């Protein structure tokens, strides 16, 4: 388990923005002197590897401040006091219209040293389309189902893939046939 990126209890919030909070504290150095240390907090995020039969749901997404579209998986920020799994279910339904009753937490990663921020990645098996998508004014998202090899290709070879924090684990699977088979079993069950 990687070292946790946290702020000490005596840290003070010095700024609160729309997404980011800035926290500072006096940190004792190795020679006994003090320095002001700084870290950020931001809402955790939850994202979903959603499967339908032996296919994985992948998105082509646009955002208003980006020049071009990029591949992604469903996901987004947790609402205030929302649990990660609840956020994953909500984002999957909003962005794709799919639901599942078979969820498992695959990884929880803190991708950046100086930010208190955890990315929760869930696997949602046997998804079923329940209703049309309902996108925010700031979202343009198209979804499609791809097979495992195509998913791995997009996620590990397209440098615009929007979830870089899971790429090392996916690459490690390409190095280990056993790990890759276990991952496939997680994604698709007994298919």
Chain residues in the site for a copy of itself (CB under 8 A) = 1-3, 8, 14-15, 17-20, 22, 24, 27-31, 33, 35-38, 40, 64-68, 70, 111-115, 136-140, 156, 159-160, 162, 164, 167-168, 171-172, 174-175
Cβ closest to a copy of itself, residue 111 vs residue 145: 111
Specify the residue, 22 or 145, whose C-beta has the smaller distance to a copy of itself.
22
The residue (of 32 and 190) whose beta carbon lies closer to a copy of itself is 32
Closest distance between a copy of itself and the C-beta of residue 184, in Å?
18
- If we measure between CA atoms, which residue out of 18, 19, 36, 40 comes closest to residue 27? 36
Q: Give the nearest distance from C-beta 100 to a copy of itself in angstroms.
A: 26
When the beta carbons of 67 and 81 are compared against a copy of itself, the nearer one is 67
Q: In 10 A of CB 179, how many CB atoms?
A: 13
What minimum distance in Å lies between the beta carbon of 37 and a copy of itself? 6
- Closest by Cα among 110, 107, 119, 102 to 51: 102
Pairing of strands 115-116, 21-28: unpaired
Taking the C-alpha atoms of residue 78 and residue 70, their distance in angstroms, rounded to an integer, is: 22
**Burial degree of 103 (CB within 10 A; 0-12, 13-18, 19+):** middle
Q: Which two tokens stand for residue 23?
A: 């926290």
For the bound state, the minimum distance from the C-beta of residue 174 to a copy of itself, rounded and expressed in Å, comes to: 6
């Amino acid at each position: 388990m990687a070292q946790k990126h946290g702020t000490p209890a005596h840290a003070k919030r010095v700024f609160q923005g729309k997404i980011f909070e800035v926290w500072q504290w006096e940190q004792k150095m190795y020679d006994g002197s003090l320095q002001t240390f700084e870290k950020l907090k931001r809402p955790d995020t939850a994202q979903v590897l959603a499967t339908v039969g032996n296919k994985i749901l992948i998105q082509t997404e646009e955002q208003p401040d980006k020049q071009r579209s990029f591949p992604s998986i469903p996901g987004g920020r947790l609402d205030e006091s929302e649990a990660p799994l609840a956020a994953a279910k909500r984002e999957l339904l909003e962005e794709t219209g799919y639901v599942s009753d078979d969820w498992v937490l695959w990884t929880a990663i803190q991708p950046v040293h100086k930010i208190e921020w955890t990315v929760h990645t869930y696997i949602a098996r046997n998804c079923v389309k329940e209703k049309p998508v309902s996108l925010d004014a700031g979202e343009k998202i198209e979804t499609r189902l791809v097979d495992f090899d195509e998913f791995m290709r997009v996620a590990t070879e397209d440098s615009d893939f929007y979830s870089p924090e899971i790429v090392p684990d996916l690459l490690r699977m390409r190095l280990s046939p056993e790990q890759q088979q276990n991952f496939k079993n997680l994604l698709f069950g007994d298919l």
